[in-house]
């Protein structure tokens, strides 16, 4: 069976394409530009077209498209005209997963999906379970970065952002937490968002979620006449808190680890056998990734792009580097999110924990431009933080880093768009300017 992916270069789409190929599909795809995922796909024998053209659609049996493409996309218009079955990525995965012969473990939630999925995969691999893994990021345990083919269970990150998980089913389901995000896909109604996650979990034979949601989940099931099923509730594991306070910075990350333990327990592994695996766990790329470290400055790249996530990563910085001065480099992700959480962004970026704040151009993620909203945001933030500075050139940060600082400076980049590239640019610049780089894995 032939399947064509429109927008195959993304992390989620490329992983789905690799799984489809390994399950016996003939896979092709298209993308705007070439990147490392495209090179990987081509090396795996997948035909990829650069640029979206009608001619790329060579009579596939079905088409998978990313939410980033519009209905005006030339390929999608051709697909619609030819009445070829076409599905978003998660719906496609739901259709092909019955072909997978082993249990499927799905991890969703507002925050922490990638880290928890990577932790579960790491624990299973360390215990010889040989999982297949689909990850929404890049991790060193996975041969393809975001994908691993194994002979054991399938572990996957289940994206809740577009609303399609409501009809998605797995054997072991977990959610990490639920906060109001992506509500544009849920009629701007938090209860619909929460119900979609509850509905996903309710269809699994094993269900794992935080203790604090037990009452709301029970109420959801009672209203719909759904059996509560086998549930495993988790909270911050005191042994993880004791043993990994430094190695896993941030309460949110130690909660993710506590969640991963319960998932592995549901699969059949003992707690001690899985907990010890955290000794060798390394974070997913762009999750507290240290890009550069010297005796006077550290550059950290993090995917945090909501107020709550930024607050959590600031807390992690404070734990990991308690005697440091934090420079926050913020890239807003989507106008809709900035507008919806305007006050919360202002509040967290005004935190006393931040020494200086730099604002990068907004990453619109294909949304309609609203420059007046961004200008208002920069203006209001400037009233709260006179030191806040809008920058186009990352080199503008360097003069503000003291040559002989009283405290080391942590440059924390947060965002889900181009901020990662900017963090690497600053790291490269500092490599040239600062000869006293620290090679230890525990800088400062």
Residues 319, 391 within the same domain: yes
Instruction: Answer with the one of 232, 252, 280 that is the final residue of a domain.
Output: 280
* This prediction's pTM: 0.93
Residues 46, 131 within the same domain: no
* Triad 74, 39, 283: Cα angle to 5°: 110
Question: What are the pLDDT digits (tens) for 284-332?
Answer: 999 999 999 998 899 999 999 999 999 999 999 999 999 999 999 999 9
CATH of the domain at 121: 3.40.1190.10
Structural domain includes residue 439: no
Burial code of 138-153, b = ≥16 C-beta within 10 A, e = fewer?
bbebbebbbbbbbebb
pLDDT score of 440? 42
Residues 213, 112 within the same domain: yes
Segments in 127-179 forming alpha helices (H)? none
CATH of the domain at 387: 3.90.190.20
Residues 23, 81 within the same domain: yes
pLDDT value at 31 more than 60: yes
Of 332, 415, 345, 340, the residue nearest 374 (C-alpha): 332
Residues 271, 305 within the same domain: no
Domains: count for the chain: 3
- Cβ atoms within 10 Å, residue 224: 11
pLDDT value at 406 more than 90: no
Structural domain includes residue 252: yes
Residues 109, 241 within the same domain: yes
What percent of the chain stands above pLDDT 70? Answer: 98
Task: For residue 392, give its domain range.
Answer: 289-433
């Amino acid at each position: 069976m032939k399947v064509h992916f429109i927008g195959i270069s993304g992390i989620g789409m490329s992983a789905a394409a690799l799984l489809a190929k390994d399950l016996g599909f003939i896979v092709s795809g298209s993308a705007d530009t070439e990147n490392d995922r495209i090179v990987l796909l081509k090396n795996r024998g997948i035909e990829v077209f650069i640029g979206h053209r009608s001619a790329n659609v060579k009579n596939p049996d079905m088409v998978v498209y990313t939410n980033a493409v519009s209905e005006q996309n030339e390929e999608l218009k051709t697909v619609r005209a030819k009445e070829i079955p076409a599905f978003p990525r998660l719906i496609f995965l739901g259709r092909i997963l019955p072909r997978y012969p082993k249990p499927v473990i799905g991890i969703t939630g507002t925050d922490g999906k990638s880290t928890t999925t990577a932790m579960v995969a790491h624990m299973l691999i360390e215990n010889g379970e040989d999982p297949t893994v689909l990850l929404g990021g890049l991790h060193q345990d996975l041969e393809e970065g975001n994908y691993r083919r194994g002979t054991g269970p399938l572990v996957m990150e289940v994206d809740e952002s577009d609303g399609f998980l409501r009809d998605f089913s797995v054997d072991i389901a977990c959610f990490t937490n639920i906060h109001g995000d992506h509500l544009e896909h849920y009629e701007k109604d938090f209860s619909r968002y929460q119900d979609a996650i509850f509905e996903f979990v309710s269809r699994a034979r094993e269900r794992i979620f935080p203790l604090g949601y037990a009452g709301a989940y029970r109420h959801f099931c009672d209203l719909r006449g759904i059996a509560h099923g086998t549930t495993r509730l988790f909270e911050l594991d005191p042994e993880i808190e004791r043993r990994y306070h430094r190695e896993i910075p941030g309460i949110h990350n130690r909660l993710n680890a506590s969640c991963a333990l319960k998932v592995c327990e549901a699969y059949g592994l003992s707690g001690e056998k899985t907990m010890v695996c955290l000794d060798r766990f390394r974070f997913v790329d762009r999750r507290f990734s240290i890009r550069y470290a010297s005796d006077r400055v550290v550059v950290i790249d993090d995917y945090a792009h909501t107020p709550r996530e930024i607050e959590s990563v600031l807390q992690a910085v404070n734990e990991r580097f308690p005697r440091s001065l934090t420079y926050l480099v913020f890239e807003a992700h989507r106008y809709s999110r900035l507008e919806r959480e305007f006050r919360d962004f202002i509040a967290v970026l005004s935190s006393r924990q931040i020494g200086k704040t730099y604002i990068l151009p907004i990453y619109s993620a294909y949304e309609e431009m609203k420059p007046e909203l961004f200008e208002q945001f920069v203006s209001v933030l400037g009233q709260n933080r006179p030191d806040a500075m809008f920058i186009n050139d990352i080199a503008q940060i360097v003069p503000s880093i003291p040559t002989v600082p009283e405290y080391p400076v942590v440059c924390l980049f947060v965002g889900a768009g181009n901020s990662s590239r900017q963090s690497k640019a600053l790291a490269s610049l500092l490599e040239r300017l600062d000869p006293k780089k620290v090679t230890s894995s525990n800088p400062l």
